[in-house]
Structure 1
Amino acid sequence: MNHALSADHQTATPAVQTGVSGDLETLESIRQRVLWLSTSMIHHANRIRPNPTGLKVGGHQASCASMVSIMTSLWFEQLQPGDRVSVKPHASPVLHSINYLLGELDEKYLTTLREFGGLQSYPSRSKDPDTVDYSTGSVGIGATAPIWGAMARRYVETTTGGAGTGRQYSLVGDAELDEGAVWEAILDPGIADLGEVVWIVDLNRQSLDRVIPNIAARRLEKMFDAAGWQVITVKFGKLLESLFAQPGGQALRTRILDMPNPEYQRLLRCSANEVRTRLPGDGPGSTEISALIAGLDDATLTEAIRNLGGHDLSALTAAYRQIDDTRPTVIIAYTIKGYGLPTQGHPQNHSSLLSIEEFDTLAADLGMDPANPWGLFSADSTAGKLCETTAARLRRDPVPAPPTPAIPTDIGRTPKGTATTQAALGRVLLDLTREAPEAAKRVVTVSPDVSSTTNLGGWVNKVGVWSAAERRNWFDDDRETIMHWNERPTGQHMELGIAETNLVGLIGELGATWSRWGQPLYPIGVMYDPFVERALEPWSYGIYAGGQSILVGTPSGVTLAAEGGAHQSIKTPSIGLEQPGCISYEPAFAIDTEWTLLASIGRLGRPDGTSAYLRLSTRPVDQTLAAVPTDPAARERRRRQVVAGGYPLVRRDGAVVTIVAMGAMMTEALAAADRLEQSGVAADVVCITSPGLLFEAIQARQGRGTGDSWILDQLFPTDRVTPIVTILDGHPHTLTFLAGINQVRSTCLGVSKFGQVGSLDDVYRYHGIDTDSIVRAALDILP
């Protein structure tokens, strides 16, 4: 197995007694029942339930089996009500089986795995009917979520209170450790202090397609150790440990540890006679090994080969007892994929299903009735009593209704002079601390080391940086230091290393505190817009899991001309348009930024809440171009339009074309309209703040959704139908659907190729989004 250990790592050996929750015999009976129920759920979904379409239903009986002992021991001996567990995706039937035995899942759901409205393919906080602490399914993201959950719990406890204590467990498959997001999270400097984080690695040495030849457990141990984690290994069970203590036992131990993964895995598929031939090998100690196993009967020999620590309940208990809670812990548990099933150890058992005959054999081995598979333990049995006491121990109080502090919709200022939408972000946050302090207390900003370059410096100086313990600011007396990095438990800014996946993982968990502890937060993550795509998948998964947050991408677009093509985002406007559970905005002016940010904050931290994405710019814009109405009623009308998706900025008598622009391109759009006017061509100008909301409005108008369709009449009224030219600093297809509102001709300008370094004028001209290009497009589209 190539699994030699260094002296720095702890090895858990089987304990003589288990914890106070139950004896080994009782736990073993529960373990077998969990194996049976999880296998039966998948069997029913594939072999019993009608499947008219013939499409594969799927499930992972082998992946479940390797986790059964770990999860049985964890739930029935170790967990406390404040603990949270992220279960590896393919072991979801094991979680549902345990919840069923604990009385948290009705029997009717056991036949609905992967059925519409039933149990989900992978654990889901928002869609499964029973208790699921973390949604998993996207490899690597569910594994790291409890890290960010631990940080979110600590933040709540040190700011608002009410989060209590508890460990955060991740049950991880060894192949999942191939994901880079896992190591980005483990290596973040702030993680080393999170002693409540515990990972349990299901080291079954198999991936989807094969036995992994070089899983190298020792290498994993060193990597975790280098990151400051406590490393505990659970290698062998009681039977193997007893053999190691006999003459020839040390040779047997060395042989197993030095054996390549595929060779060991092959032994699991061998008869006892084949094991006797293959196991000794031909190296030093082979004679001693042969003599040792010669004294074992066939059943004991084949059982010994399978007696790994991840399936030994007492060894797992011993491992849990070694957790010191002063730093993160990883327990590496050696397991066999498919343990206890006819398919155990087969190199292609990842998605294999038991046949009817194999299922019946398993039922006979476990003393179950395949025709009535959902039996519970009798209430007066020791197993039934342990289920009852475990359910009582793990019962949580209902989550209280979250408080709803008032959030203003309009600070009341009208920006003047030249400003950027990026700079407006910091100003709005500072204004919020004065205008609505109770709401501002729940705002928490997160940045991957770009706070100063995204204009959060003033906010950070005002509210401080969050840290579990107060730290000395050694630059507080340096007059040339403009940004004050004061770290304390009451700070409201959290800084991570340069890893965008970590940032969105954290804001997702910060955005779920309203549902975990009844304490809503308003998390705002800020990153450079070109890197939103890197962070999109984990952020999207966080939204799916119920985390409500605001992601700010800034600076954005080819407007960031001097940075070149690598730092010029193109696709993010359409990403915002298409992301479920999210409202995207690209404001053109500082006042638009204020109104959309406040509206986005107002949608966070509640059962019907929604995430948001704001795409901001460093392009300086003359704020008088916004022409903000001075009349209060007219101003409120403008604000409602901005929040709903857009507003008419210029209306001219006899307009024959409409220029529709978004974000930083409003300067060129207005300049083009003025030039057309000078040529005798009247042009309306419409400012779009949210393409996504406008698309939803169209769907609602067609009876396909519930959006606000009134905004369409105010932007594109039927008495002002003209051809349109759309323009944005992003991919032009983002706004193409607008031509369908009134079925008009359209020309769509934008960015559809990699950018170039240069001045703003040069770059705009290169992409055809300069004023000249807009004027030409408007003239070309006229009849």
Structure 2
Amino acid sequence: MRTVPTGPPARHRRSASLTNWAEEDRIRCQELTGKDDTMNDARTIDAHTNQLAPRAITPEALVEIEQRVLWLATSMIHHANRVRPNPTGLKVGGHQASCASMVSIMTSLWFEQLRPGDRVSVKPHASPVLHGINYLLGALDEKYLTTLREFGGLQSYPSRAKDPDPVDYSTGSVGIGATAPIWGAIARRYVNTQIGSAGTGRQYSLVGDAELDEGAVWEAILDTSVAELGEIVWIVDLNRQSLDRVVPNIAAGRLEAMFSAAGWQVLTVKFGTLLESLFTRAGGPSLRTRILDMPNPEYQRLLRCGAEELRRRLPGDGPDAAAITSLIGELDDATLLRAIRNLGGHDLDALRAAYARIDDTRPTVIIAYTIKGHGLPTQGHPQNHSSLLTVEQYKQLAAELGMDPAHPWARFAADSVPGQVCRATAETLTRKKVELATPPAVPADIGRTPSGTSTTQAALGRALLDLSRQAPDAAKRVVTVSPDVSSTTNLAGWLNKVGVWSPNERRNWFDDDAETIMHWREKPTGQHMELGIAETNLVGLMGELGATWSRWGQPLFPIGVMYDPFVERALEPWSYGIYAGGQSILVGTPSGVTLAAEGGAHQSIKTPSIGLEQPGCVSFEPAFAIDTEWTLLDSISRLGRPDGSSSYLRLSTRPVDQTLAAVPTDPAARERRRRQVVAGAYTLRRTERPVVTLVGMGAVITETLAAADRLAEQGIAADVVCVTSAGLLFEAVQARRGLAEGPSWVLDQVFPAGRAAPMVTVLDGHPHTLAFLTGINQVAGTALGVSRFGQVGSLDEVYRYHGIDTDSIVRAALDLTD
């Protein structure tokens, strides 16, 4: 006969002495099976070495910590939405249910598994759980607990740059934070093989199951280089819910097969100890099959049932219904309700067992079944993603957990067992202070003056080779990355010189082939990395290579090269890497409608304005080879330092007569030109009294100069200005107006008020990129550029179609000066 408990509703009832269902489940499991499978020797297994670790923790203490973490995370969100004044009425938000599904996983990870060298990327919506753990470990001041999503306070999602407590990876943009530890693992291995001192450790990603819908996740998982990274561990929070619903067809078996096919170890944690004990009893196999076979929405509906309704629904109407009815008839209501919620992702013993099985020879994914909102009144509700506990529900939760809602931020007493565990864990996880190495000096000028006909794209490879000869210490920090386009972006010479990076040396079977021009020598000392054709992977790796200065104190100079039309595809993860502190150089080449024969599909239009608008980034679009060298060296000098920044170089394959650059031969004049180039613009031609100013950028400088010549033949004097960075000029304009900080001297030198004249701006990109320049001296102007999808054709035909040819520039100048 089953027994019916008295007292509070069973769904919320806690044992007065244990305060947690998990502990009651352990006891009930022991009663049902006659044995206790939990760890009672108060020791943990160090999953890195399979040796007994010094961090001792009792099951009871871990349960108390788990509950306190749930309370703190829930309270932070509650305070931000229900307590803190909100005069604007704008939604604050937060994700109590998403936090709750991660509490057991993160408690087990932090307090039993992590070591100082490990790094963790936390599921964005679980940021309050991270802050709660950091608070218990003494790494976050209490004053911040009331500042979630407040200006200057705890960020909405984990942020390395903006949160006041330790955060290993910035997350928040779907898929990007999940994959970051993969690239972090490669970056650490690279530092260790090239420089040393980055240490070792696992790279964990805590991932929501809905995040696996993001294609960038699978691009990373499937990359062939990832299968060798044994330090990678993903933990998938399989709660089967998205923003609006229970996802009907999430198939864990399919996910397991996909990870396994990519060479990952797959560990699935489905059920907890209580359910597993029931499966061993008469009718248990039928119950297991019933739970596994039912659709996700049906299971989620069971979580919303009371005991009586659950007894009617759970057996179903299949041939095994009677056996299931008999089995659950032996359980009291409280045990039955706990059993249906006893999934592996909330069972500390099941999680511990999964960690112990990690073999560290290949990437591992732990698929942990969880309940969204576990332990909260909203658990399992299909619309609980952003729902908040009411004030009454919050008070009810406080009563269940033995907390005071009026004073929610209590830590454990220092002499209590949980308090001692927190202190010991904090000591264990303490990392040595990172000493920042000073980046080696980067020369400002190699000293060579290009001649003949060349392209800015070709200048990139030559500049890197020159750097390796002129400044080997700086060149040693350069690491180039490309998505299978090394030869077509002129990196072959550099690659032949420095080799391809690989954790282990591999034989190059084409070394003795005389017709092989680019030699693919893979070795631990190589300085080039090549991923598959996946731009998101490329910039993700760039972001982590560009963060080594802050993680391990060793600066690198990462330079990623891709086709400029694909910069937009890579922009979000690259931008997110900059936000997270990664400093790198992105080179887009070839670019623009200058790719005439490639047609509209491969002609980039918006990238110049992207460079202008991207925070934390300096953009350059050089016109000549010498400009490329100077801007590249300047960009490298900005990397690997607390006040550093990223850069974007937009290069072209258009051959240009290098004598048109008219590089000064006098050393002082040459240096003045260089300073102007890296400040954003320089005067290429200056007349005695200009009637019009022609401003060109990048590949169309040839047409700009030709237009000036033709205007001169008509008696119209035209100054010619070559812009190298629209972004730097815009910042100078803002600084002059008191709207930003920074130098504005380049405006006085290149656009002096005394020479103000009507202005024509032209570039191979959207015309608005340079349109603001007329405002420097308040002159009339015409902005020429590309604002339509491209067309295939010859260069002359394509330029004429978009109105950026010489004739169009001359017409625009005549219209302004008539």
TM-score (norm 1): 0.98
- 1:601 and 2:641 are equivalent in the alignment: no
Which is further off, 355-364 or 703-712?
Answer: 703-712
The residue correspondences of 1:521-670 to structure 2 (distance < 5 A) are 521-670=556-705
Aligned to 2:378: 343
3-state SS of 1:614 partner? strand
Aligned to 2:11: none
Cα deviation code 1:512-566 (max 9, x no counterpart): 0000000000000000000000000000000000000000000000111111110
Aligned to 1:251: 286
Amino acid in the other structure paired with 2:363: P
- Alpha-carbon distance between aligned partners in 2 of 1:432 and 1:176, rounded to the nearest angstrom: 42
- Alpha-carbon distance between aligned partners in 1 of 2:557 and 2:787, rounded to the nearest angstrom: 34
Any gaps of 5 or more consecutive residues in structure 1?
Answer: 1-12
- Measured after TM superposition, the shift of residue 16 of structure 1 is 4.4
The residue correspondences of 1:346-495 to structure 2 (distance < 5 A) are 346-495=381-530
* One of 251, 255, 267 as aligned partner of 1:232: 267
User: Is the Cα–Cα contact under 8 Å of residues 15 and 318 in structure 1 kept in the other structure?
Assistant: no
Measured on the aligned residues, the alpha-carbon RMSD in Å equals: 0.8
Aligned to 1:680: 715
- Alpha-carbon distance between aligned partners in 1 of 2:37 and 2:636, rounded to the nearest angstrom: 52
- Alpha-carbon distance between aligned partners in 2 of 1:535 and 1:360, rounded to the nearest angstrom: 46
The residue correspondences of 1:479-518 to structure 2 (distance < 5 A) are 479-518=514-553
Aligned to 1:77: 112
Cα deviation code 1:594-651 (max 9, x no counterpart): 0000000000000011000000000000000000000000000000000000000000
Amino acid in the other structure paired with 2:514: R
- Alpha-carbon distance between aligned partners in 2 of 1:435 and 1:503, rounded to the nearest angstrom: 28
Amino acid in the other structure paired with 1:135: S
Aligned to 1:6: none
- Measured after TM superposition, the shift of residue 238 of structure 1 is 0.7
3-state SS of 1:376 partner? coil
- Measured after TM superposition, the shift of residue 715 of structure 1 is 1.4
Cα deviation code 1:572-614 (max 9, x no counterpart): 0000000000000000000000000000000000001100000
Amino acid in the other structure paired with 1:460: L
3-state SS of 1:584 partner? strand
- Alpha-carbon distance between aligned partners in 1 of 2:690 and 2:99, rounded to the nearest angstrom: 66
- Measured after TM superposition, the shift of residue 284 of structure 1 is 2.3
* One of 88, 91, 97 as aligned partner of 1:62: 97
- Shift in alpha-carbon separation, 1:15–1:481, aligned structure 2, 3 A: farther
- Measured after TM superposition, the shift of residue 707 of structure 1 is 2.1
- 1:51 and 2:82 are equivalent in the alignment: no
Amino acid in the other structure paired with 1:84: R
* One of 529, 550, 554 as aligned partner of 1:519: 554
Structure 1 runs of 4+ with >6 Å offset: none
* One of 268, 280, 286 as aligned partner of 2:315: 280
- Alpha-carbon distance between aligned partners in 2 of 1:445 and 1:560, rounded to the nearest angstrom: 24
3-state SS of 2:743 partner? coil
- Measured after TM superposition, the shift of residue 403 of structure 1 is 2.2
3-state SS of 2:102 partner? helix
3-state SS of 1:684 partner? strand
Aligned to 1:175: 210
Aligned to 2:343: 308
User: Is the Cα–Cα contact under 8 Å of residues 201 and 330 in structure 1 kept in the other structure?
Assistant: yes
Aligned to 2:149: 114
- Alpha-carbon distance between aligned partners in 1 of 2:132 and 2:644, rounded to the nearest angstrom: 31
User: Is the Cα–Cα contact under 8 Å of residues 73 and 129 in structure 2 kept in the other structure?
Assistant: yes
- Alpha-carbon distance between aligned partners in 2 of 1:123 and 1:498, rounded to the nearest angstrom: 29
Percent identical pairs in the alignment equals 80
Aligned to 2:808: 773
3-state SS of 1:654 partner? coil
- 1:189 and 2:224 are equivalent in the alignment: yes
User: Is the Cα–Cα contact under 8 Å of residues 21 and 76 in structure 1 kept in the other structure?
Assistant: no
- Measured after TM superposition, the shift of residue 679 of structure 1 is 1.0
Amino acid in the other structure paired with 1:197: I
- Measured after TM superposition, the shift of residue 241 of structure 1 is 0.5
Any gaps of 5 or more consecutive residues in structure 2?
Answer: 1-35, 45-54
Aligned to 2:50: none
- Alpha-carbon distance between aligned partners in 1 of 2:378 and 2:37, rounded to the nearest angstrom: 26
- Measured after TM superposition, the shift of residue 653 of structure 1 is 1.4
User: Is the Cα–Cα contact under 8 Å of residues 700 and 707 in structure 1 kept in the other structure?
Assistant: yes
Aligned to 1:3: none
Aligned to 2:127: 92
- Measured after TM superposition, the shift of residue 15 of structure 1 is 5.0
- Measured after TM superposition, the shift of residue 654 of structure 1 is 2.1
Cα deviation code 1:399-419 (max 9, x no counterpart): 002222111000000000000
User: Is the Cα–Cα contact under 8 Å of residues 269 and 354 in structure 2 kept in the other structure?
Assistant: yes
- Alpha-carbon distance between aligned partners in 1 of 2:102 and 2:237, rounded to the nearest angstrom: 7
Amino acid in the other structure paired with 1:505: G
Cα deviation code 1:3-28 (max 9, x no counterpart): xxxxxxxxxx9754572531211100
Cα deviation code 1:93-139 (max 9, x no counterpart): 00000000000000000000000000000000000000000000001
User: Is the Cα–Cα contact under 8 Å of residues 696 and 722 in structure 2 kept in the other structure?
Assistant: yes
3-state SS of 1:731 partner? coil
Aligned to 2:745: 710
3-state SS of 1:686 partner? strand
- Alpha-carbon distance between aligned partners in 2 of 1:54 and 1:166, rounded to the nearest angstrom: 45
3-state SS of 1:659 partner? strand
Amino acid in the other structure paired with 1:772: D
Amino acid in the other structure paired with 1:630: T
